[in-house]
Structure 1
């Protein structure tokens, strides 16, 4: 029997509930439940208290090969053994033989405690190794999934998922056009769903960060949720199912998403097709000519060119954070064959600053409200 099974059997033999045992030890019912489900191991102090309460040795509780006695043996009425510091105190009526008996018992308990401590350390080391192996297996499994299409969907066999969907789109913060986030719609259909007996959460993990949202059970079956998270280049999406009574957890991987930034990134090339471009003297910088800006997608595998169309192209002349001049390029041509957009415009500026004091940049705003900027020479 495991330690948890022995605690459960002894508790029932005493006619105690999990809550009553927890109160006797100054703990919660959930802590007792995790012991009995072998999801946690009692501390040494708790093991000593359990040993005292149930009338069995700590060694009997920890060692699986050690069977429970038919009836717990009680210590002699005139002998008092305290756990603190493994000290032995003698009642006044003890005889010499009884004193030696108590000393032998104390030595045996000390040996047992040391053995149990070694077993506990060994057990926790093995649990850590098993946890690391499980994490590596889950990570390798998630990496082997195909995540090239948008939206993402797939199926799983066995006790995992029968179906799932991960649909996402880019959103821009209304007060900060340079700040983007993902709006995600999630649905999952576990093979053995128990909505009345478990709580469900969707979890998204990326480079040590984690975002969680509660999942709602649909009448037609399956869990669903919608949430918003910062735009990251990659993330793992899982469904976590938590037993309402025992807090036991099932984690079902949905998808590993990669290359998200690339899916929504643009690239820009600018060239002067007429005029002198940007020139300067000792005191003046002149920007004059016809400028062409070509905007294309960084991910050539995205069908249809752009998930979000370039909507506005503006050229800016800056001195530090101050905008000296600006001009919107209004002429727009779309090249369907190569999925590129060309913006054209005429610029005629003169600023009373030197060339090394200013920067020239092109700013693109797309239909999601996102702003991207590139310096040009």
Structure 2
């Protein structure tokens, strides 16, 4: 069994969800998912915390030693601490084993006197061995500290070099841009947004590096879909051309200035690019499913058909405030469904918090999938997942999903890696 499998096993034995385990360890549910799917290994402090929580040793979690007997008592997965200079029980056990093997090799029978001498010799040898081991452990600890110090110094040197190289590279890039720029000064800032109309207005300006009498400037906004939006710049007393440029809200907007000479020659200068403005204006939620136990390990028949147990799904708003001054829309409606490769299998019904869900779930809405719903995964790349379709007051929609399940060796499991960042409704089939 892998480290991830051992963590999942102990979590289930203690009746903890991934979110509950993450709360106890101070990490996210996604971190627990990565540990249990063996795509990441917990840091040493988290391994120690897991061993104490589960009552097993770190070595057992890592798969390098067998678990202790059930009646061994609660060791919290760690060796007891000792005072400075004393040996731990594990070290004493090792010394005893060495002495035991030494005495077993002695010729027998021995006289009482010789036995006493041998016992004295063994005692003296044991004390010497203890001293040697203590000195050795101290030396190893010093070497380990020196190694860590050297490693930290190397890391600091490397970070410093990387920082300097990055600074030089950025400076060279800025110089090249300035040399090749058609404008001496420019600006493109978000002035306002109208979410109801799905529009954003930019305040744009450009000062041509070389001005020619009769020159005009046209500003253009390209969102990657449809015709670009154009507006003529108004000349100012300071040699700048300025305008208010209103265009559809998009996740990939490029703002450019076109310098038009009196003879009709046109030159284009990119002013700025804006990423993720549309997505940031949509309401966002977190989706999490709770089955009769985890869906992990749920068996499929030979055709890949799986029959799901009763499942509850929670949806919780996760507002980040949007990007100023656009802001983020409110949630008008939420639908939760079970999807197979982003195609709807069935919608879930809204419900009250189930009685067996203990604790407070502030701001979360619950949705219910009855036992017996079926889905067929015919390929190991098919993904079964729960997702929420969120609609804002202006009719705009986004889709947010939980970690998907795939079929491996006839049972549901998580993929080694998953991407739940596709929120575009155009990529989901639910009968829009």
TM norm structure 1: 0.39
Which structure is higher in strand share? 1
Pick the structure with more helix per residue: 2
> Structure 2 length normalisation: TM-score?
0.35
